[in-house]
Amino acid sequence: MLTDARGCLTSTPSSVSLQQYEQALELSLSYELDPLATIQKALDCDPTFAMGHCLRAGLAIMATDRGALPMLAQSTGAIEALGRRATDRERAHCAAARTWLQGDFAGAIQRYGDILLDHPHDLLALQIAHVGDFFLGASSMLRDRIAQ
C-alpha cells in the first residue's frame, strides 16, 4: 500500500497507478483536460486500485449527468468487490458514492464531508463535498467545510 501526496493511505502497490491518480486529481481540481482518461490509465494498470475507482466515481457524481450512472455503478461495484483489501477511507468513499447512486444526493455529500473529519487531507472528498455544497446551495458550508 502506498500513500498519496497528502499522506493518505491507498490500496495500490503500483507507483505508476498512484502517479496517474495524482495527475487525474490535479486535472479534476483545475478543470483542465480529461481527468477521466488519465484515471482510466491508472485503472488499466491496476484494476484493483480502489482510490482510482473512487476518483472515477467522484467524477461521475460531479458531472451530475444521468449518463454517468453506469460508470458510477461500475466503480462502486469494483470497490465493494475488494472488501477489506480497500482501505477504510476508500470504503467510505464507496459508501458515499453508493448513497448518491441510490438517489440521496444530500446524504452522499454529508458522507463525503464525514470522510474529511477522519481524513482532513483527502482532497477528493473535499472537492466532491465542495461541489455538492454548491449544488445544494449550502453557502455556509462552502466556507466552513474548508475551515474544518
Q: What is the pTM of this model?
A: 0.94
Q: pLDDT at position 76, please?
A: 98
User: Reduced to 3 states, what is the DSSP secondary structure of residue 9?
Assistant: strand
Q: pLDDT at position 39, please?
A: 97
**Closest-CA residue to 113 (of 136, 87, 84):** 136
10-residue averages of pLDDT along the chain (148 residues): 92 94 96 92 95 97 92 97 96 98 96 96 97 94 87
* CA gap 43, 56 in Å, rounded: 9
Q: pLDDT at position 147, please?
A: 84
CA atoms within 13 A on the CB side of 6: 14
Q: pLDDT at position 102, please?
A: 95
Strand partners, 9: 3
